[in-house]
Structure 1
Amino acid sequence: MKAAREVKPLSSLCERVSVGHVGPTSMHYCDDGVPFLRTQNIGDNGLQLEDYKRVTPEFHASLKKSQLKQGDLLLGRVVTDVMKCGIVPAELGEANCANMILIRPKEGLLPEFLNYMIKSPFAQDYLLGKRVGSAQQVVNTGILKAWEVPHVTLEEQKRIVAVLDAAFEGLTRATEHAEANLQNARELFGAFLEELFLKNGEKWLSANLQDTVSENCTLSYGIVQPGDDVEGGLPVVRPTDLGVSLISRTGLKTIAPEKADGYARTRLQGDEILLCVRGTTGVVAKALPELEGGNVTRGIVPVRFDSQKMLQDFGYYQFRSRHIQEQIEAQTYGAALRQINIRDLRKLSFTFPEVKEQERLLPMLQNAQRNCEALIEVNLAKTRRHIRPPPIPPAKGLCRRTHIKLGSPDG
């Protein structure tokens, strides 16, 4: 076995490992001042410079310890499940920062190499294991200064960075390709619905939503203030639950039953179409029979069709069609909170054949949905595989112990 390469504390390889400005800053903001980076300017993929604050030149000059240079590394000081890191680019120019850890490597340590090393799985595990605090967990600069890292030659650092740059470039292309396939799979079912409903719309019956629902379907909003979770309480469906096509009791918020008093109009029977009318309007899902007796919150309207006019499943597919979605989008208003009024919802125009024809078409619709969902799952799996970052390659001559410090998957 080759001898272990020397390891050194990070502080010995850097000019500075310190915390940016801590304290009030808003009174120093201005429109044409010096760029001022904060925690929200560090994302999963590095610095996010599309939107940052600016401070007066005088305030910037007074904060000498947090003034930034090209090649500095900025780390999120407050940490949740990942320690985010980014390199200050040349184009940012003169800049400053607040409440972030600033690392300035010496000449013998490439910023790109240190950036990759900090983002490696084993480095993340080590640093996250050193968090302190209760309300907010932070990684102290003392931990980073004492962190032992391999002392790798500059040439070897360049080799490793080149390997990883190439790997991430390929990763980006593969991810974009997988995401494009996923979007195509999602659009495929929409295209099938569009062809069915638009092709036949002129020869089918036409009616507003309010004229196609059953007598006991009032098209009403749900519970306005559901209150806190209550163990064993009444299940309620919220807009955030509508990410799947079938809604069961699993994972639903449960509330005190009396909170539903006065909301009998939205009490579920167990096979309603649940339509989102606040937030991402137009999203729909189907309630399973086990939700009988449950309810919904303000952002959802339960829909039950008159079975003599429209089969429940046929209505569900019509809600998902472009024909209905465009009508919902046209009636949706608001910027901060997008929503559609009940009066506009009731006027949505549906086209549908006789019930017997609906019965004939339903198996085709259900089969198309199953095929598209299977295709979506295949592409989701591909996307999940592609977004895994490559491990840092071992530096030449490193033994297993030092290799792990670099973030190898071995161990």
Structure 2
Amino acid sequence: MAVWSEVPVSVIHNNYGRLDAEFFRPEYLQIDNILQRLPIRKLKTITNKIDVGHVGPMVKHYCEDGVLFIQTQQIGEFFLDLSACVRIDHSFHELLKKSQVNNGNILIARSGSFGKASIYMENEVINSADIIIIDINKDQQDINNLYLLAFLNSKYGSAQLIRYASGGLQGHVNLTILEDFKVPVIPTPIQEDIRQKVRIAYEKTAQSIALYNNAKQLLESELGLDKLVFEKPIGYEASFSEVVGNNRADADYYQVPFRQIEKHLSNLTVKPLAKIASFTKGIEVGSKYYASSGKLFIRVSNVKENGVETGNSDKYISNELFNQLPSFQPQVGELLLTKDGTPGICYVVDEITEGVISSGIVKMKMVDQDLSPEYLALVINSKICRMQIERACSGALIVHWKPVEIGRLKIPILSSKLRQEISDLAQKSKNARRESARLLSQAKKRVEDLIEEATNHEPVS
């Protein structure tokens, strides 16, 4: 069914001359109408600063021991993902004053993944690239920053962020328009309740990360990886018999660190993955079957170590097609493993996920009942398996992990006591992350319910 909006020329003039149809989608106009009926503050009236971080080449300033440098891919819903940050040298950090991020700053991706906002809640000053930094004025009493964060991630805030991205092919959030971003003013006690939920959720997330890191460190320590020093010689040799035996002639396959891992594995008790779990490869439904809503078509970009993440670029399939593909639907207790693009990301499905996996993913069901799914996922996500996967996929322009190679992946088997200890840490990490997600969901819902109650003239309490 065709959907359209009609707006007078005066409305176009009042909206920065935006002529693109996307800006005037009916759902955006409806949200705008709802917010106009509430007491609101424009973002520029409650902030000290709305500015964008450094834009320009940075690689030559990267270093191992420097200042954290966050980029758009680190912006999550509510909190930053600092697990894969690069660092820049301190001297360059000092030059980039306007892109420095301080405790309490709210961050929005200027390009790419619109519609979500993160807050930085540590005391160390870090730096940023192509990210909008919002510094809340603490002297104003109407809006606290954690309530604002919850609103930005709610459907009423997220829709405004997506709307305010320019209508070009390479979208980016327009700072001038963002200054007029509408923030509803709600009673202070309710803002405080939302603030408390977000703060506790942050603490739970930090606890989850610490527990997960403890599990990985225990695993890698017991496997002896913490004592393994990888060599990086200028050159290396491979015998003809190795080339024939491995059916691999590309130089990357014979890099010295790969050989070191192979030798290290020979001193451990290992099992091929094919003897631990059974596999089901995903399906490629084809773009003609994509739908505007329905069930999630789970692609490689959705699969993370901690869960299936969704975003603005997600694809969906109809409920009817979903019901026709039961064997490609992940079930609780199974594992998802990426095989293309960024191979080797493994996640234990621990909650109902209504979707169908794409051909770049395999789902695994445990066959060896002596091993827990949590232990297996942690091992696959560790360095000892990542390097095996990197080696198997090396030498190709398009990264693709063949099913036969997936089955050959060597899984180190520790004692049952250590496996249990590692699994328990991983499970506690998940429990803390799940509690954080529950609190954040409550915070968003509280914001949305308040807005809807107020516009329906119902009492707010």
Same fold (TM over 0.5): no
Q: TM-score w.r.t. structure 2 length? A: 0.40
Q: TM-score w.r.t. structure 1 length? A: 0.45
Answer with 1 or 2: which has the greater Rg. 1
Q: Which has the higher contact order (CA 8 A, sep 6+)?
A: 1
